[in-house]
Structure 1
Amino acid sequence: MVFANAGSLGAVPGKRDALVAHLTRRSSALEEVGCLAYEVGTNTDDSDTVYVIELWESADAHRRSLALPEVQASIAEARPMLAGTFGGFQFEVVGSPLRD
C-alpha cells in the first residue's frame, strides 16, 4: 500500500527559495529506497513556507530513507534554512480515480 507524507516547512525569512533549491536537488537514493514522488511547492500567500508531498512504496520505505547517509547529510545542510515551524500529516493511500 502506498504511504503519503504531506508537510510544511517554515523557512528562515528570506531563505525559502534556497530551501526549495536544496529540496529539489536530484537524488537517486530516494528512488532506490522506494520514493515514488517527492513534490516541493510554494504559495504566494506565505513567503516563508515550503510544502512537500511525498509518496512512498510503504511507511517502512520512508523510515529507511531517513537512515540513509545522503538524507542525513541533506537534513543537516537544510537545518540553517529552517525556522523550526513544521506541519503535516501522513496516511495510507486507499485509492485514486486515476488508476485501478
Structure 2
Amino acid sequence: MTFANVGTIGVVAGKRGQLVDLLTRRSEELRHVGCLAYEVGINDEEPDTVFVVELWTSADAHRASLALPEVQASIATARPLMTGEFGGFQFDVVGSPLRD
C-alpha cells in the first residue's frame, strides 16, 4: 500500500531558495529505496515555509530512507536553513481517480 508523508518545514528568513535547491537535488537513491514521488513547493503568502509531499511504496521504505548516508548528509546541510518548526501528517493511500 502506498504511504504518503505531507509536511511543512519552517525556514530561516531569506533561506527558502537554498532549502528548495537542496531538497530538489536529483536522488536516484530515494527511488531505489522506494520513493515514488517527492514534490517540493512554495507559497509566496508563506515565504518562510517549504511544503513537501512524498509518496512511498510503504512506511518502512520511508523510514529506511532516513538511514541513507545521502539523506543524513542532506539533513545535516539543511539544519542551519530550518527554524525547527515542522507540520504535517501521514496516511496510507487507499485509492485515486487517476489510476486503477
**Bigger strand share:** 1
1:73 aligns with 2:73: yes
TM (norm. structure 1) is: 0.99
Ranges in structure 1 where 5+ consecutive residues have no aligned partner: none
Ranges in structure 2 where 5+ consecutive residues have no aligned partner: none
> Residues of 1 paired with 2:98 and 2:52: CA distance?
21
> Residues of 1 paired with 2:4 and 2:37: CA distance?
9
The equivalent residue for 2:91 is 91
Give 1:16-95 correspondences, 5 Å limit: 16-95=16-95
Letter in 1 for 2:96: S
Moved over 2 A (4+): none
Letter in 2 for 1:74: S
> Residues of 1 paired with 2:44 and 2:12: CA distance?
16
Letter in 2 for 1:39: E
What is the CA-CA distance between 1:44 and the residue it aligns to? Answer: 1.1
> Residues of 1 paired with 2:55 and 2:25: CA distance?
17
> Residues of 1 paired with 2:28 and 2:74: CA distance?
13
TM (norm. structure 2) is: 0.99
Letter in 1 for 2:84: G
**Pairwise CA RMSD:** 0.4
- How many percent identity over aligned positions? 71
